[in-house]
Amino acid sequence: MSNVICKACEKEFETERQLHAHLKAHGLLMVEYYQKHFPRHDLHDNKIIKFKSKNQYLTTDFNSKTNLKLWLKNQPKKEADEYCVSLLKNRKKNKGLIYSPSQVELRSIMSPPIQYYEKEFDDYYKLCSGLGFKNKYGNFGEIVSGSEYDKSEYKIFIDTREQKPLKFERATEIKTLKFGDYSFSDKDATCNCYIERKNLSDFIGTISGGYERFINEIKRSEEAEANLVVLVEDSLQNAMSFPYLPHISKKIRATPEFIFHRVRTLAQEHPSLQFLFVSGRKESSRIVERIFTCECAYKKIDLQLAYDKKIL
């Protein structure tokens, strides 16, 4: 017997999809149905949780990260800590996560960033390990660029298909790359690192309409035992709110929730892949050089966290 029951009339359905189609008979939108029969309120201000999807609605405790931050600030430390640990536990259980959530992952969901966990628990990665996660990255201090790479023989290779190449002080060479837009002339020096540059519109297009092609690119990089960094020349905050940006086409149908769901999935399924969002093209140029000359430190650190902490 089906257990999908309409709360408005007690009629049973085999699937939730059938239930949702049935709501028209009651003149109800999905948002009205769930907010009426499954009321959920923001823990900070007690306002009804905004509805975007059934799963989002039933698993969300706050309408904004500001409310989350204020609520945590006003709770006793024990209760706040228990709540934050439960967020990690629930994501691991409900999403089947293997690796400790990265900074991009945490910042793109209703969660405190890694810095908050570091402040409250001292060691984020030790906390995650204790919860059963595997750690791709670890704690870090200063990231030093080796002076060895100042020598003139070291170049940055730029892919022939790169339409808007970044500018660098060091020598560059146009070359056909099998994946990515930038690599270093000495693969050993970078532990075989490639960087894929995207402006924000490119990034959205790649993760939506160009997703399958991007998956194939990731697979090619993995076959070559390479490390791939997707460098987006815009801030993570802008990327998470792109529908409100004037320079992003209003014709884009994908939502930030859809885009970052895929980003989080990719981050979990491909350990040698990282996403990094920075502030503009000039910063992108600096970061490309920084990654290529950090003596492979980029492999061991969460690049977005390092950038947010102004260490990268």
48-57: per-residue pLDDT in tens? Answer: 999 999 999 9
Q: 21 with 79, same domain? A: no
Q: 98 with 223, same domain? A: no
Question: Does residue 82 sit within a domain?
Answer: yes
Name the nearest CA neighbour of 196 among 101, 220, 108: 220
Quote the number of domains for the chain: 3
9-49: per-residue pLDDT in tens? Answer: 999 999 999 999 999 999 999 999 999 999 999 999 999 99
Q: 203 with 269, same domain? A: yes
Q: 11 with 108, same domain? A: no
The pLDDT, as a whole number, for residue 97 is 97
Task: Tell me the C-alpha distance between 135 and 101, whole Å.
Answer: 9
Q: 155 with 288, same domain? A: yes
109-143: per-residue pLDDT in tens? Answer: 999 999 999 999 999 999 999 999 999 999 998 88
Q: 186 with 224, same domain? A: yes
What CATH number is attached to the domain comprising 183?
A: 3.40.50.10130
Range of the domain at 220: 147-308
Q: 117 with 198, same domain? A: no
DSSP reduced 3-state for 233: coil
Question: Does residue 68 sit within a domain?
Answer: no
Q: 156 with 15, same domain? A: no
Task: Tell me the C-alpha distance between 19 and 271, whole Å.
Answer: 39
Q: 190 with 259, same domain? A: yes
- Say if strands 193-198 and 227-232 run parallel, antiparallel, or are unpaired: parallel
Q: 156 with 300, same domain? A: yes
Share of the chain above pLDDT 70, in %: 99
Q: Which residues contact 110 (CB under 8 A, 6 or more apart)?
A: 60, 61, 62, 65, 68
Q: 287 with 158, same domain? A: yes
Position 145 pLDDT exceeds 80: no
Q: 238 with 123, same domain? A: no
